[in-house]
Amino acid sequence: MASTEIDTGLNPQQPITWFTDRKGVAYGVNGINRGIRWDGFASSVGQLGVTAPSTAPTITPDTGGAASAGDYDCAYRYVARDLEGDVYSNFSAVATVTMTANQEFNWSAMDAPTEARVTHVQLWRTTVGQTNVYYFVEEIAKASLGSHVDQNSDATLIANDDDEIMKLRRHNGEVVANRFVLPPQNRPYGVMFQDRAWYFGSVRLKAVTTTDGDTTVVMVGDYVPATADIAGWHMAIDGEPITYTVVSVSGGPGSSTITLDTACTTSATTVGTLYPPLATHRKLMYSEADEVESVPAANEVTLQDNIGDDQHITGGVPWGATLYVFCERSKYAVSFVRQPAVDASVRLIDKRGAFNNKCIATFEDSIYAMDDQGCYSYNIRGGGSGSTRSVSLSGPIQDQWRDGVIDFSASDNFFVEVDRSAEQVRFWVQMGDGVSDRCFTWNVRRETWDHERYEAPADNGFRGSCQTKLTASGLSQKPRSLIAGSFGRIFCREGNTDVMSQIETATCEASSGTGCTLTDCSAWAGWSTRSYIGATILFEETGQTAVIKTATVSTNKLIITYAETISPVPAATATVQVGVIPWSWTSRRLPVFTPDDTPGGDAQNKRAVQVLYTPFSGAHDTLNLRFFENYSSTPMMFTRGANFTSGIQVSELTLDNHATESLYSDTIHIDLDVDRFSSDVEANGFLELVLSGKFVGGGESLRFVTVEMSGFQGDDKIILHELNFVGFSK
């Protein structure tokens, strides 16, 4: 892969949240590790903020200077001279020195910077007899840090430029010189809101944990954070009567020993949860104006609990003059004018929230989000206020939330994807199989729902999306949505086939329920073995499908294993198409005409289904029909191989056989090929399937029919214009 690695070693249990300031620098936080920053040029990221030196300087008075007689305070700080501007540390500890008149200050014993981004060290001191106003003395390149002589008089320093004079505190107690506090490390979400960076939320890290009746517990996992990251965090252990505080961590990966402040009471293997102190979990920290990396401890706004439910913050999105902060089942609006400490306001909006930070996305003038109640939009500029702007979208598919279809235990993996050019919002979920490969697609303009399943990239599916444009030559630079998932793969929607750029065909040389060996594929099997993972294989003779889990290229053969075992085993010489997209559409339950609702309905003498489609010259696309009578889940059966008319034939595929009647089939094939006639006449895209059956009043006769369309899309796009039902009422 021609991407470039710019950082390693982050804890992957919480994905990085990125935001960008107006200088174009990207900042990332995950609530576990120290935050990072990247300017788009450097070969690797830098750490967020600059750690202050701890040791006070040694000041040795000597003759030869211009000091006044009295006490002086001296300190130094680090400077990271970045392309986008300087970033400072707080002052070191202060050294107070008593000078006599006309002495000089000899500075020494200053801590050498250990952080790579630090380039310089600045010396600052007060004038005689005061402790609040510091004056810039000298800036020293990092490599030249040693002893330095300061022979300046107070009058010289007082004449400094304004930006070389700095107070320790303002009159109201706010810190100035020491405002360069590192952003909080335990906040997983960060946004740029107006001229400040805001950090909020908290993580919870769960894993199997074994207690042994003492102060040490063993937590399973490759990514238990280090002592430096979680000392002082809390640990709740199932079965223990109290919550403990983490003292230190050792060992790992695989398992780590965590030392707690108090001995556990049990000896058991259970579940432990690590989390930062709860006192901070509803506090939003904000930076100084235009100083993303300066977050003094006093810069905080608390989300007061206004609904009796102390929920965790799960994400946030800034929009205009408001920062929308989401909890699991509620959201708040935070706004300020100039100084949050003075004029910030927090307002409860409504009781709709978000599963996580990736379940919040914006499109046009609305926020789209997903919580345990379903999918909804929040119109930023709509009429009314608060909850009146929230509109539930998932009503038509609410059974998916209500009836246990969706696996909420996997909600950390859910996300919302916006596709700007297609004007669609996709809500990605898991349905109990551990794979995030399904989404419900909201068509914004038409206000309708589709359901999509993407087998690629296989394994555990997709984990996130973003908007961008492809820039390689020959490709449209329209805005696109990218989705990222297993095996580091990133996909865009392009063409009519999945994973493969076109349908590829081959013949099996060997076959089993778990895989096959393809031959006759030398023209296309020379790619990376990774190229095929997630592609759907269609076995032409049976109509079976399988999804490729692994593929190995061996002397122009492709040895494939399937994601799931298939049965029956396809023939050893089966022919396959690789890259098809399976699809289906099931109609409402259509009522036939009856005399009860239509005078003369029993005189209806024709019942038929008409399909209007766009014909094409493709060989790999299929459209099948199945019909279900009344409330039956077993499809209607037709004589195998029978032709209704040219282009409509009852399937002869074995797998389409009726469950108990081998002479009959469930499935009717419709040929979409423009050349399906043997004559020169091209198909006009209209096919009619005439069904038997006439309403018989009072009997156990046909009352309803459900139509299922399905098939596989190959190189040509399947487009249906109309589906007409003759002999059915609305």
- Window 394 to 433, contacts with other proteins (CB under 8 A): 395-400, 402, 422-424
Question: What are the tokens at 275?
Answer: 């989390």
Contacts with other proteins, 353-372, as mask; x by CB under 8 A: -----x--------------
Instruction: Note whether 163 binds other proteins by CB under 8 A.
Output: no
Residue of the chain from 146, 239, 488, 697 that contacts other proteins (CB under 8 A):
488
Contacts with other proteins, 600-629, as mask; x by CB under 8 A: xx-xx-x-x-x-------------------
Residue of the chain from 453, 478, 632, 663 that contacts other proteins (CB under 8 A):
453
User: What is the CA angle 424-428-431, rounded to 5?
Assistant: 140
Instruction: Note whether 468 binds other proteins by CB under 8 A.
Output: yes
β-partners of residue 439 are: 428, 452
Task: Give the residue from 606, 616, 577, 621 showing the smallest Cα distance to 709.
Answer: 621
Question: What are the tokens at 590?
Answer: 């259509």
| Residue range at the interface with other proteins (CB under 8 A); choices 18-26, 202-210, 282-290, 664-672 | 18-26
Residue of the chain from 306, 448, 645, 684 that contacts other proteins (CB under 8 A):
448
Instruction: Note whether 686 binds other proteins by CB under 8 A.
Output: no
Side chain identity, residue 153: S
Matching residue, tokens 């989401």? 326
Residue of the chain from 22, 167, 469, 478 that contacts other proteins (CB under 8 A):
469
Q: Quote the CA–CA distance of 681 and 651 in Å, as a whole number.
A: 24
Instruction: Note whether 138 binds other proteins by CB under 8 A.
Output: no
Q: Is 157 helix (H, G, I), strand (E, B) or coil?
A: helix
- The footprint of other proteins on residues 493-522 (CB under 8 A) is 493-499, 501
Q: Count Cβ atoms within 10 A of the Cβ of residue 319 and give its class: 0-12 exposed, 13-18 middle, 19 or more buried.
A: middle
Q: In angstroms, what is the minimal distance from the CB of 56 to other proteins?
A: 37
Question: What are the tokens at 286?
Answer: 């904000």
Q: Quote the CA–CA distance of 57 and 92 in Å, as a whole number.
A: 8
Residue of the chain from 452, 509, 520, 541 that contacts other proteins (CB under 8 A):
452
Matching residue, tokens 């020959």? 474
Instruction: Note whether 586 binds other proteins by CB under 8 A.
Output: yes
Closer residue to other proteins (CB): 15 or 65: 15
Chain centre distance of CA 527: 29
| Residue range at the interface with other proteins (CB under 8 A); choices 51-59, 204-212, 239-247, 597-605 | 597-605
Residue of the chain from 194, 227, 598, 701 that contacts other proteins (CB under 8 A):
598
Q: In angstroms, what is the minimal distance from the CB of 599 to other proteins?
A: 8
Instruction: Note whether 15 binds other proteins by CB under 8 A.
Output: yes
Instruction: Note whether 552 binds other proteins by CB under 8 A.
Output: no
Residue of the chain from 111, 450, 541, 629 that contacts other proteins (CB under 8 A):
450
Spatial strand order in the sheet of 300-302? 189-193, 196-200, 283-286, 300-302
Radius of gyration of the chain (CA): 34
Residue of the chain from 347, 381, 478, 721 that contacts other proteins (CB under 8 A):
721
For residue 342, the 8-state DSSP code is H
- The footprint of other proteins on residues 187-216 (CB under 8 A) is none
Closer residue to other proteins (CB): 242 or 472: 472
Residue of the chain from 169, 487, 659, 663 that contacts other proteins (CB under 8 A):
487
Instruction: Note whether 633 binds other proteins by CB under 8 A.
Output: no
Q: Count Cβ atoms within 10 A of the Cβ of residue 160 and give its class: 0-12 exposed, 13-18 middle, 19 or more buried.
A: middle
Exposure class string for 478-513: b at 16+ Cβ within 10 A, else e: eebbbbebbeebebeeeebbbbbeebbbbebbebee
Closer residue to other proteins (CB): 171 or 730: 730
Side chain identity, residue 72: Y
Q: In angstroms, what is the minimal distance from the CB of 596 to other proteins?
A: 10
Q: Quote the CA–CA distance of 707 and 585 in Å, as a whole number.
A: 8
Q: Quote the CA–CA distance of 97 and 276 in Å, as a whole number.
A: 40
Instruction: Note whether 84 binds other proteins by CB under 8 A.
Output: no
- The footprint of other proteins on residues 24-63 (CB under 8 A) is 24, 26, 28, 36, 38, 40, 45
Contacts with other proteins, 375-394, as mask; x by CB under 8 A: --------------------
Chain centre distance of CA 84: 29
Task: Check if the beta carbon of residue 625 is closer than 8 Å to that of residue 708.
Answer: yes
Q: In angstroms, what is the minimal distance from the CB of 199 to other proteins?
A: 17
Q: In angstroms, what is the minimal distance from the CB of 588 to other proteins?
A: 4
Task: Check if the beta carbon of residue 480 is closer than 8 Å to that of residue 467.
Answer: yes
